[in-house]
Amino acid sequence: MKNNFKKIFKRDGISYAQRVKGEDGSVSFQNPVFIPGPTNIPENLRRACDMPTIDHRSPLFGSILAPARAGVARVLQGERAEVFLFPATGTGGWETALTNTLSPGDHVLAARNGMFSHRWIDMCVRHGLIVEQVDVPWGQGIPAERFGAILAADTDHRIKAVLATHNETATGVRSDIAAIRRAMDAAGHPAMLFVDGVSSIASMDFRFDDWGVDVAVTGSQKGFMLPAGLAILGFSPKAMRATQGAALPRSFFDVRDMEKSYATSAFPYTPPVGLMNGLNEACRMLLDEGLEAVFARHHRIAEGVRAAVSAWGLELCAASPDLYSDTVSAIRTPDGFDATDIVTHAAERYGVAFGVGLGEVAGKVFRIGHLGSLTDVLALSGIATAEMCMADLGLDITLGSGVAAAQEVYRTSRAGITQKDAA
């Protein structure tokens, strides 16, 4: 059968050519994606989402809802987390966190160190909250000590919540949430801690209980390896108490309505049953693999990507190794070179998707997502494709250099094998 690549859509001037159409008119999708979400969907999760219609007011729905919520709590490492599932994405999760716990005119403390922290701050402003904004160079993490000083100076306790983006997807920067909690505690401040874990939860170590998180936000389409469509949240007992006095308007995202429905294994409106069934299966997959193994796999794959970047003679946007994300690498290209060309070329020439730079780093970086349903072998295909694209576009890249560097990492780090043992 003869196959021909066809462009299927354009976004920001980028053509995506991942659909292959055969002579018989059949369409199939080729190649894994290397964007930082939505991520590749395992076949068993696709099947779990593809289910017959059921009566969501019947006891059968409860047999899907209850284990999904329990599974999420385990993935969050949050025995005290009250888990809520909304038909939305991470952005809807942000709004759920704010509107259920805060009132107009409340102060929040947040750092702007990337596109997604910027968008959460913008949402706060639109909701009539007063943001104490700490501007941080893109490529740096959240300054815990500076947060601590601001909170210590807030003797009137005007600040009601601290917003922290655990993993800034635009820059590939991971911030230290435990350090932020320590700074809050050292300041003796009663503010709640809200954490955007959209591109970290279910892929990198996230400790709801140990870090004293009050609201954790994530989505179905990243570490949980599902289609977009679920906003997934964990609320602490303190956050649940805050819902009683919160005066920001909410209706669709009201956790009190959701909590009341959950008590009878129901939903306040029509639920996305297929996605919830998929979430149930996704949690089983993650817990069967073991969270420590999941985190180790992501770290190993990320280390291979980072070794490739070094072999290419390029640098990450993240300013130092302690900030490196294990789910996405934002790779700086030489001055005068438009990094978006790599993403465009990869899609048009090879049918592979990488992430473009966003906001202040648009055109300066391209992003390789390495999270979710991914293995060393699949990661090598993405590294090889990026290498071909850069060589095609005239960058001084030696074909095979990044692949070889990543191979060395994967060969010597799997299953606890060290460089010394391999030798």
Please write the tens of the pLDDT for every residue from 296-327.
999 999 999 999 999 999 999 999 999 999 99
Distance CA(60)–CA(67), nearest Å, equals 12
Q: Is 312 exposed, middle or buried (0-12, 13-18, 19+ CB in 10 A)?
A: buried
Reported pTM: 0.91
Q: Can you state the angle between helices 401-413 and 376-392, rounded to 10 degrees?
A: 170
Q: Average of pLDDT values for 175-197?
A: 98
Is 50 exceeded by the pLDDT of residue 258?
Answer: yes
Answer for the pair 160, 107: CB distance below 8 angstroms, yes or no.
yes
Please write the tens of the pLDDT for every residue from 106-164.
999 999 999 999 999 999 999 999 999 999 999 999 999 999 999 999 999 999 999 99
**Residue 165, number of CB atoms within 10 A of its CB:** 34
Is 60 exceeded by the pLDDT of residue 18?
Answer: no
**Residues of 206-238 as b/e, b for ≥16 C-beta within 10 angstroms?**
bebeebbbbbbbbbbbbbbbbbebbbbbbbbee
pLDDT band at 226 (very low <50, low <70, confident <90, very high): very high
**Measured torsion, CA atoms of residues 84, 226, 116, 326, in degrees rounded to the nearest 10:** 110
Return the pLDDT at 334. Answer: 97
Please write the tens of the pLDDT for every residue from 356-367.
999 999 999 999
Q: How far is CA 108 from CA 158, 334, 419, in A?
A: 8, 37, 47
Is 70 exceeded by the pLDDT of residue 20?
Answer: no
Q: What is the 3-state secondary structure (H, E, C) of 371-393?
A: CCCCCHHHHHHHHHHHHHHHHHC
pLDDT band at 204 (very low <50, low <70, confident <90, very high): very high
Q: Average of pLDDT values for 383-401?
A: 98
Return the pLDDT at 413. Answer: 86
Q: How far is CA 369 from CA 154, 216, 272, 327, in A?
A: 39, 22, 27, 6
Is 90 exceeded by the pLDDT of residue 421?
Answer: no
Return the pLDDT at 5. Answer: 37
Please write the tens of the pLDDT for every residue from 330-353.
999 999 999 999 999 999 999 999
Answer for the pair 342, 391: CB distance below 8 angstroms, yes or no.
no
Domain ranges of the chain: 46-288, 291-422
- Between strands 107-112 and 159-165, the pairing is parallel
Q: Quick one: fold of 291-422?
A: Aspartate Aminotransferase, domain 1 (3.90.1150)
Average pLDDT taken over every residue of the chain: 92
- The CB-based long-range contact list for 391-399 (8 Å cut-off, 24+ gap) reads 392/345, 392/349, 393/337, 393/341, 393/342, 393/345, 395/333, 395/334, 395/337, 396/313, 397/312
Distance CA(16)–CA(353), nearest Å, equals 7
Please give the backbone phi and psi of residue 192, each rounded to the nearest 5 degrees, phi first.
-80, 155
Q: What is the CATH number of domain 46-288?
A: 3.40.640.10
Q: Average of pLDDT values for 171-195?
A: 98
Q: Average of pLDDT values for 165-178?
A: 98
Please give the backbone phi and psi of residue 328, each rounded to the nearest 5 degrees, phi first.
-155, 140
Q: Which residues pair with 82 in a beta bridge?
A: 235
Amino acid at 200: S
Sign for the pseudo-dihedral over CA of 273, 279, 282, 288: negative
Tokens 């019947």, located at residue: 58
Please write the tens of the pLDDT for every residue from 58-85.
999 999 999 999 999 999 999 999 999 9
Q: What is the DSSP letter of 34?
A: B
pLDDT band at 13 (very low <50, low <70, confident <90, very high): very low
